[in-house]
């Protein structure tokens, strides 16, 4: 089985890893390796920590997706990402506390004597997944946020910026504080993801130093640093507790189609908290745009406090950060059924923008100038949902959208948080399902509906609602058996077989017309609007091939030609090459093959169309037409090599895709599935048979 690796990770040599850590010596519990599997989280119980190798200094930013453990003492004093110098008195310590909890409240440290709770009544949540973002890239605008809610006031910033720049010459520890090169104030917490950035003082750009993802290797839980290709394990007295193994992505698919009907719909929790400053790009095709439907949205209260990044309502797209204005304010572009839109939104306070492009066309500005959509900062208490609206006040997903989803990206400023693409995955029990794959955190998201606490959702129908596979991510089993045939409807079904239509190609196919053909192309391409054809087989006005401007046909005697008949199984052999073209047709009668005839031709080319062959249609300058109502039983394609020989490049047999349950073509030459480009579900039938290797047939 051939495997295409498309997960985006970079394998690095030990020497390369050593060079990456030239500024900070690599911690002892770190190895250059690829995980055996990714985990939902790792958990520390108060005796584990990791040396990040990142110096504690001004200019850092951290984003931590985590969950604090249950309270164990009156004043729990836990470090999640901290460092501090040793001093005889606490007030004399110099510290960088990026994430620290004390007595339920954030304990922020920046330099000397800067500690305590900057927001007074603000408290960290316990035993609940949350996102902590700390930004000390600028001492004039430091931030400490939980789920987007800020803890600093202007006065706090002035107070905490009093010490200017800080450099401790100590590495930050995860799950503990590096207290003078020794771990202290261990945390009890779960970690889902962690990023650490460093600002370039000259360019102002943020560099990603660490991107930690929970993983397991050889039975030991740790953190995979996607930025450097290394795994870090606990340097404490115990190993981390491994969370559940994440489901494995198998393949990317073109799209997912959501029902958006009643309680039986599909939607996704993005785990991105709605807040000002988010940007998004959603590629979607609404199927019923006349209703009030959320595409990427959340809602804070039962009133007008909303956060709509992508939404449609009757004749308009909707947008909201706080207030929701009338749909007439946004009716510049009216959503239409079946149109493929790219919706781009920026929720920066006072500078919001929303553009919509249709079917690859020019982007149109939807928000009108001079309208205030919320100039103040807003942070919701819940997460954005995709293909529905997540309501905070009752924790339900509602207003689901009927739509085809192709892709979604979400940014916080310039930082890409999510890069969702539709995918097929499998869980530990081997159940295959469709969901979304986030290429940033390499995590599969399952569809959910109803109450978030229940997390029960309707799965996607693998054959009807899942688009064709576009990329294989993992070893996927080949079909166990072939089916008798696949059948094209003659109006929209076709396959792009990925073989260029140019001189030096041979074909052998076993096929059957399901209706009397009329100018229908079984396999071919046409590069211009004139008579330049390149058809390996077509049916006008008889069994024919096409090379340049002529259509050589099989003679039936005199001035007549053999016309294809519906319901008869034919074996077609053909070759198109400069100076040598032929077509040979046999019909099956009584279980035996009867040769109907052969035509040979020596027309001089050369011909290179620049197009790939379509099956069940012709590729007419990149568009399928002349669709063939036909069944395919087998198809072999060979191409001419530099030495004049012909090599097998496609060996198609009809089969059922083991991933989606779709009828497809399995190419035994490249060990790849090929899918119908017209409709996702292709008719198929006949008895299943073992998938034996095919015999090579030499055409003469």
Average pLDDT on 444-450 reads 81
- Which of the two residues, 368 and 694, has the higher pLDDT score? 368
Q: What is the pLDDT, as a whole number, of residue 681?
A: 62
- Backbone phi and psi for residue 174, each to the nearest 5 degrees, phi listed first: -100, 135
| DSSP state, residue 267 | B
61 and 174 share one domain: yes
- Backbone phi and psi for residue 364, each to the nearest 5 degrees, phi listed first: -110, 130
455 and 487 share one domain: no
- Which of the two residues, 25 and 531, has the higher pLDDT score? 531
Average pLDDT on 106-114 reads 80
Q: What is the pLDDT, as a whole number, of residue 558?
A: 81
Q: What is the pLDDT, as a whole number, of residue 3?
A: 27
Q: What is the pLDDT, as a whole number, of residue 74?
A: 82
Q: What is the pLDDT, as a whole number, of residue 155?
A: 77
154 and 291 share one domain: no
238 and 261 share one domain: no
224 and 311 share one domain: no
695, part of any domain: no
- Which of the two residues, 357 and 107, has the higher pLDDT score? 357
- Backbone phi and psi for residue 349, each to the nearest 5 degrees, phi listed first: -55, 130
Neighbours of 2 (CB within 10 A): 8
234 and 259 share one domain: no
Last residue of a domain, one of 242, 272, 294: 242
Q: Looking at the predicted structure, is the pLDDT value of residue 697 above 60?
A: no
Of 182, 210, 235, the residue nearest 54 (C-alpha): 210
Q: What is the pLDDT, as a whole number, of residue 449?
A: 57
123, part of any domain: yes
Q: Contact at 8 Å (CB) between 452 and 271?
A: no
Percent of the residues in the chain that have a pLDDT greater than 70, as a whole number = 89
Of 398, 225, 228, the residue nearest 299 (C-alpha): 398
Q: What is the pLDDT of residues 475-518, one digit of tens each?
A: 777 787 789 999 999 999 999 999 999 999 999 999 999 999 98
Q: Looking at the predicted structure, is the pLDDT value of residue 263 above 70?
A: no
Average pLDDT on 383-400 reads 89
Q: Contact at 8 Å (CB) between 264 and 290?
A: no
Average pLDDT on 229-237 reads 96
461 and 505 share one domain: no
2, part of any domain: no
- The per-residue pLDDT of the chain, averaged, comes to 86
Q: Looking at the predicted structure, is the pLDDT value of residue 420 above 60?
A: yes
358, part of any domain: yes
Burial class (CB in 10 A: 0-12, 13-18, 19+), 340: middle
Q: Looking at the predicted structure, is the pLDDT value of residue 125 above 50?
A: yes
400 and 490 share one domain: no
Q: What is the pLDDT, as a whole number, of residue 139?
A: 82
Q: Looking at the predicted structure, is the pLDDT value of residue 548 above 80?
A: yes
Q: Strand, coil or helix: what is 594? A: strand
Please state the domain count of the chain.
Answer: 3
Distance (Å, whole) CA 425 – CA 409 = 20
7, part of any domain: no
6, part of any domain: no
Strands (E) located in 218-362: 220-225, 230-232, 241-242, 248-253, 256-258, 268-275, 278-286, 293-299, 306-313, 316-324, 341-346, 353-358
206 and 285 share one domain: no
Question: CB within 8 A of 296, min separation 6: which ones?
Answer: 270, 280, 282, 308, 309, 310, 311, 345, 384, 385, 386, 408, 410
Distance (Å, whole) CA 587 – CA 512 = 10
359 and 395 share one domain: yes
Q: What is the pLDDT, as a whole number, of residue 580?
A: 93
Q: What is the pLDDT of residues 154-198, one digit of tens each?
A: 777 777 776 678 999 999 999 999 999 999 999 999 999 999 999
477, part of any domain: no
231 and 360 share one domain: no
Most confident listed range (121-125, 292-296, 476-480, 687-691): 292-296
Question: CB within 8 A of 692, min separation 6: which ones?
Answer: none
507 and 531 share one domain: yes
Q: Contact at 8 Å (CB) between 277 and 386?
A: no
Q: Which helix (H) or strand (E) holds 14?
A: helix 14-20
697, part of any domain: no
Distance (Å, whole) CA 153 – CA 80 = 23
Average pLDDT on 25-36 reads 77
Last residue of a domain, one of 428, 452, 472: 472
* Three-state helix/strand/coil letters over 151-213: CCCHHHHHHHCCCCCCEEEEEEEECCEEECCCEECCCEEEEEEEEEEEECCCCCCEEEEEEEE
Q: What is the CATH number of the domain that holds 550?
A: 2.60.120
Q: What is the pLDDT, as a whole number, of residue 350?
A: 83
Last residue of a domain, one of 242, 261, 280: 242
Residue 216 belongs to domain spanning: 14-242
Distance (Å, whole) CA 496 – CA 1 = 22
Q: Confidence band (pLDDT; 50, 70, 90) for 578?
A: very high
């Amino acid at each position: 089985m051939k495997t295409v690796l498309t997960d985006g990770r970079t394998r690095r040599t030990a020497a390369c890893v050593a060079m990456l850590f030239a500024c900070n010596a690599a911690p002892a519990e770190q190895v250059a390796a690829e995980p055996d599997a990714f985990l939902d989280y790792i958990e520390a119980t108060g005796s584990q920590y990791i040396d990040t190798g990142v110096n504690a200094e001004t200019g850092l930013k951290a984003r931590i997706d985590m969950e604090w453990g249950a309270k164990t003492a009156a004043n729990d004093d836990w470090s999640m990402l901290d460092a501090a110098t040793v001093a005889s008195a606490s007030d004399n310590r110099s510290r960088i506390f990026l994430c620290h909890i004390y007595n339920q409240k954030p304990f922020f440290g920046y330099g000397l004597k800067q500690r305590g709770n900057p927001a007074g009544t603000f408290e960290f949540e316990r035993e609940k997944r949350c996102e902590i973002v700390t930004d000390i890239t600028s001492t004039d605008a430091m931030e400490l946020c939980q789920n987007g809610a800020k803890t600093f006031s202007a006065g706090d910033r002035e107070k905490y910026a009093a010490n200017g720049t800080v450099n401790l010459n100590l590495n930050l520890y995860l799950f503990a504080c590096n207290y003078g090169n020794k771990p202290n104030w261990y945390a009890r917490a779960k970690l889902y993801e962690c990023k650490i950035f460093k600002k370039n003082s000259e360019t102002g750009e943020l560099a990603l130093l660490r991107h930690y993802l929970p993983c397991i290797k050889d039975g030991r839980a740790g953190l995979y640093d996607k930025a450097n290709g290394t795994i870090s394990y606990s340097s404490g007295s115990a190993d981390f507790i491994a969370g559940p193994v994440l489901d494995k992505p198998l393949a990317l698919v073109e799209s997912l189609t959501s029902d958006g009907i009643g309680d039986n719909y599909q939607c996704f929790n993005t785990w991105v908290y709605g807040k000002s400053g988010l940007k998004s790009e959603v590629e979607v095709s609404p199927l019923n745009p006349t209703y009030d439907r959320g595409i990427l949205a959340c809602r804070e209260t039962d009133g007008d406090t909303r956060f709509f990044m992508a939404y449609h309502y009757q004749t308009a797209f909707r947008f909201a950060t706080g207030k929701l204005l009338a749909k007439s304010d946004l009716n510049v572009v009216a959503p239409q059924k079946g149109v493929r839109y790219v919706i781009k939104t920026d929720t920066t306070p006072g500078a919001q923008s929303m553009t919509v492009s249709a079917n690859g066309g020019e982007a149109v500005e939807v928000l009108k100038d001079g309208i205030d959509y919320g100039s103040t900062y807003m942070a919701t208490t819940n997460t954005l949902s995709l293909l529905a609206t997540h309501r905070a006040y009752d924790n339900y997903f509602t207003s689901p959208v009927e739509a085809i989803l192709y892709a979604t990206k979400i940014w916080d400023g310039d930082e890409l948080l999510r890069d969702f693409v539709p995918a097929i995955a499998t869980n530990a029990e081997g159940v295959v399902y469709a969901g979304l794959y986030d290429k940033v955190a390499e995590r599969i998201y399952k569809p959910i509906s109803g109450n978030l606490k229940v997390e029960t959702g309707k799965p996607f129908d693998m054959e009807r609602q899942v688009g064709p596979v576009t990329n294989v991510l993992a070893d996927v089993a080949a079909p166990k058996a072939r089916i008798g045939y696949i059948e094209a409807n003659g109006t929209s079904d076709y396959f792009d077989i990925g073989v260029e239509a140019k001189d030096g190609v041979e074909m052998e196919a076993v096929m059957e017309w399901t209706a009397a053909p009329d100018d229908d192309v079984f396999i071919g391409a046409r590069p211009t609007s004139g008579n330049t054809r390149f058809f390996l087989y077509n049916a006008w006005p008889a069994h024919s091939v096409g090379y340049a401007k002529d259509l050589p046909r099989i003679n039936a005697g005199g001035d007549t030609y053999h016309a294809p008949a519906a319901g008869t199984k034919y074996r077609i052999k053909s070759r198109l090459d400069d100076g040598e073209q032929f077509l040979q047709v046999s019909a099956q009668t009584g279980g035996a093959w009867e040769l109907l005839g052969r035509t040979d031709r020596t027309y001089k080319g050369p011909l290179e169309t620049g197009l790939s062959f379509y099956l069940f249609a012709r590729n007419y300058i990149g568009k399928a037409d002349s669709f063939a109502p036909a069944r395919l039983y087998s198809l072999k394609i060979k191409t001419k090599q530099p030495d004049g020989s012909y090599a097998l490049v496609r060996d198609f047999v009809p089969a059922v895709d083991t991933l989606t349950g779709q009828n497809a073509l399995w190419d035994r030459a490249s060990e790849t599935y090929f899918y119908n480009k017209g409709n996702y579900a292709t008719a198929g039938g006949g008895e299943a048979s073992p998938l034996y290797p095919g015999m090579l047939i030499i055409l003469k």
